[in-house]
């Protein structure tokens, strides 16, 4: 080192034992600077993970001061955020070394300038990459399914400024529209007994349109792991894909069920229009809220309603039990299983088994409503490689994310607690996390 200058011990140490010398394979950013007066040349490379400088290396051609400042700044920068590293000044580099002769201060200038140049190079590349990546996608978020969970997800994503599309093959509102459009909302805090299911769906639809969510009424035929949706009108890609395909009524596996389940022959899986049961004798198979809802909806139209319940009690909200008891035409047969549905062209009778007495009972009926639960609509996802439990529900973490990166699931396909309020909460969770993942807000 030049003998005419006095250097601190720290400068001498970094000159004789420079830290972090070399190059970084596949560096995220490179900064090169030089001083034409003294001929010093300096190159700094950086590796970035989650906005943190994980590695910094340098190559310097020049005097001992240039080597010492380069070595020093790498130690100062490693572990800092990019924003913190950009604030490292030339004076701070010199101060960390115990000072530099005034004539050598340009060396500290080079070190800080090279680091800042490397960070700016990284940011420029990241911005360009993001721009190119964005051109590959049609939407920030694509939601497959327009039920409570899907509509909520779409609305809240659009509210956060994310370009969003929702695909729905059948009825907007899902189960609320095709199963119980006229039912009063009972288990949604703030809306109980204030609006019908169709009122709620219409409110969601209006909000989605105001926020410019693209509402696509078409079937999705295939989904790929890279978040491509192949629909009837073409192929679409989303940065994030949300699955919200809901559930369908489960079948009962009863002898004769399939024969009479089509063409209005007497077997139904839900009560869409109570007027179709005017004056009829109806057996409802099930022991939960769905069975109770079906019975209550038929109270003004059917002549006789029999609920066949396999257990010794109905697993129903207490207020519904009281309402059922107040209807004379409703009869509940406990510990009873429907084993056969028969008739010529239409349903004419059912054979039931008393599970306690082990006896068969015949009853003349006009219609059978099977309210034996819901099954998740996840068949389309089996080729996708999504993890499911043994009942067909998609496995998700606390953010509703599946095992495939960028794919989330909400509502009845991700929870056996088939409640509107649960699907809505799932949608809010996904919208929040989609925004965080795509926009990287300052507070995360």
Residues 265-293 pLDDT 10s: 999 999 988 999 999 999 999 999 999 99
Quote the mean pLDDT of the chain: 92
pLDDT at 131 over 80: no
pLDDT of residue 191: 82
What number is the average pLDDT over the span 221-244? Answer: 94
Shared domain for 171 and 231, answered yes or no, is: yes
Residue with tokens 């649960």, as numbered in its chain: 422
Q: H or E stretch including 268?
A: strand 267-268
Specify the pairing of strand 374-376 against strand 281-285. Answer: unpaired
Q: Which residues are catalytic?
A: 38, 107
Please, are residues 42 and 35 in contact by the beta-carbon 8 Å criterion? no
**Cβ within 8 Å of residue 408, ≥6 positions away:** 240, 241, 242, 243, 396, 399, 400, 401, 402, 430, 433, 434
Domain closes at, from 92, 111, 133: 133
Between 127 and 132, the higher pLDDT residue: 127
Shared domain for 184 and 151, answered yes or no, is: yes
Shared domain for 127 and 27, answered yes or no, is: yes
Shared domain for 232 and 309, answered yes or no, is: no
Domain closes at, from 111, 133, 155: 133
Shared domain for 347 and 410, answered yes or no, is: no
Which token pair is 195? 């609006």
pLDDT of residue 4: 52
pTM of the complete model: 0.70
146 in a structural domain = yes
Shared domain for 91 and 116, answered yes or no, is: yes
Shared domain for 189 and 80, answered yes or no, is: no
Number of domains in the chain: 3
Shared domain for 383 and 242, answered yes or no, is: yes
Local confidence band at 115 (pLDDT 50, 70, 90 cut-offs): very high
pLDDT of residue 62: 82
pLDDT of residue 106: 67
Give me the sheet containing 29-34, strands edge to edge: 29-34, 41-49, 52-61
| pLDDT tens digits for range 34-70 | 877 677 889 999 999 999 999 999 998 888 888 999 9
Shared domain for 426 and 325, answered yes or no, is: no
**Cβ within 8 Å of residue 225, ≥6 positions away:** 384, 385, 404, 407
379 is in which domain, residue-wise?
142-248+375-439
What's the rounded Cα separation, in Å, for the pair 296 and 301? Answer: 10
Shared domain for 57 and 95, answered yes or no, is: yes
253 in a structural domain = no
Please, are residues 345 and 263 in contact by the beta-carbon 8 Å criterion? no
Strand segments, DSSP code E, in 68-203 are 139-144, 164-167
Residue with tokens 């059917």, as numbered in its chain: 302
C-alpha separations of 350 from 46, 132, 186, 276 in Å: 76, 64, 32, 20
pLDDT at 11 over 70: yes
CATH of the domain at 98: 3.90.1010.10
pLDDT of residue 184: 87
What number is the average pLDDT over the span 170-194? Answer: 87
Please, are residues 173 and 151 in contact by the beta-carbon 8 Å criterion? yes
Shared domain for 407 and 314, answered yes or no, is: no
Local confidence band at 108 (pLDDT 50, 70, 90 cut-offs): low
3 in a structural domain = no
Please, are residues 317 and 344 in contact by the beta-carbon 8 Å criterion? no
Q: pLDDT above 90 covers what percent of the chain? A: 80
Domain closes at, from 133, 152, 177: 133
Shared domain for 117 and 150, answered yes or no, is: no
What number is the average pLDDT over the span 239-249? Answer: 96
What number is the average pLDDT over the span 119-137? Answer: 86
| pLDDT tens digits for range 290-323 | 999 999 999 999 999 999 999 999 999 898 999 9
What number is the average pLDDT over the span 5-33? Answer: 92
2 in a structural domain = no
What's the rounded Cα separation, in Å, for the pair 288 and 374? Answer: 11
Local confidence band at 2 (pLDDT 50, 70, 90 cut-offs): very low
pLDDT of residue 3: 46
Give me the sheet containing 330-333, strands edge to edge: 267-268, 367-370, 281-285, 304-308, 330-333
| pLDDT tens digits for range 336-379 | 999 999 999 999 999 999 999 999 999 999 999 999 999 999 98
Which token pair is 296? 């209550």
What's the rounded Cα separation, in Å, for the pair 47 and 373? Answer: 54
**Cβ within 8 Å of residue 66, ≥6 positions away:** 40, 42, 60, 107, 110, 111
pLDDT of residue 339: 98
CATH of the domain at 268: 3.50.50.60
């Amino acid at each position: 080192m030049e003998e005419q200058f006095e250097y601190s011990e720290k400068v001498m140490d970094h000159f004789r034992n420079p830290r972090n010398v070399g190059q970084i394979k596949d560096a995220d950013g490179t900064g090169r600077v030089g001083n034409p007066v003294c001929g010093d040349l300096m190159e700094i490379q950086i590796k970035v993970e989650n906005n943190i400088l994980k590695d910094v290396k340098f190559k310097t051609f020049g005097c001992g001061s240039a080597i010492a400042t380069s070595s020093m700044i790498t130690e100062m920068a490693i572990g800092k955020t990019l924003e913190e590293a950009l604030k490292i000044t030339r004076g701070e580099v010199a101060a960390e070394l115990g000072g530099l002769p005034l004539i050598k201060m340009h060396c500290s200038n080079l070190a800080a300038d090279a680091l800042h140049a490397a960070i700016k190079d990284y940011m420029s590349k990241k911005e360009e990459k993001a721009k190119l990546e964005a051109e590959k996608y049609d939407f920030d978020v694509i939601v497959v399914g327009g039920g409570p969970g899907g509509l909520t997800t779409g609305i809240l994503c659009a509210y956060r400024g994310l370009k969003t599309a929702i695909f729905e093959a059948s009825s907007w509102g899902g189960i609320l529209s095709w199963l119980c459009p006229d039912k009063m909302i009972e288990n949604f805090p703030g809306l109980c007994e204030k609006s019908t299911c169709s009122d709620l769906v219409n409110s969601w639809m209006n909000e989605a349109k105001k926020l410019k969510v693209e509402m696509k009424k078409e079937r999705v035929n295939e989904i790929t792991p890279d978040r491509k949706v192949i629909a009837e009108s073409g192929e679409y890609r989303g940065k994030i894909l949300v699955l919200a395909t809901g559930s369908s009524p489960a079948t009962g596996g009863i002898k004769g069920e399939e024969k009479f389940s089509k063409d209005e022959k007497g077997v139904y899986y839900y009560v869409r229009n109570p007027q179709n049961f005017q004056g009829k004798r109806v057996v409802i198979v099930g022991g939960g809220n769905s069975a109770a809802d079906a019975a209550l909806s038929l109270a003004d139209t059917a002549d006789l309603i029999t609920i066949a319940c396999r257990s010794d009690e109905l697993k129903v909200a207490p207020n519904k039990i009281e309402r059922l008891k107040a209807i004379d035409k409703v009869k509940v047969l406990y510990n009873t299983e429907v084993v056969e549905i028969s008739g010529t062209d239409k349903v004419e009778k059912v054979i039931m088994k008393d599970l306690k007495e082990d006896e068969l009972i015949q009853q003349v009926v006009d219609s059978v409503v099977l309210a034996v639960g819901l099954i998740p609509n996840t068949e389309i996802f089996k080729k996708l490689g999504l993890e499911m439990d043994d009942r067909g529900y998609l496995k998700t973490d606390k953010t509703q994310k599946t095992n495939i990166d960028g794919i989330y699931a909400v509502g009845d396909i991700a929870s056996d607690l088939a409640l509107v309020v649960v699907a809505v909460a799932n949608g809010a969770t996904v919208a929040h996390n989609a925004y965080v993942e795509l926009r990287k807000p300052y507070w995360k």
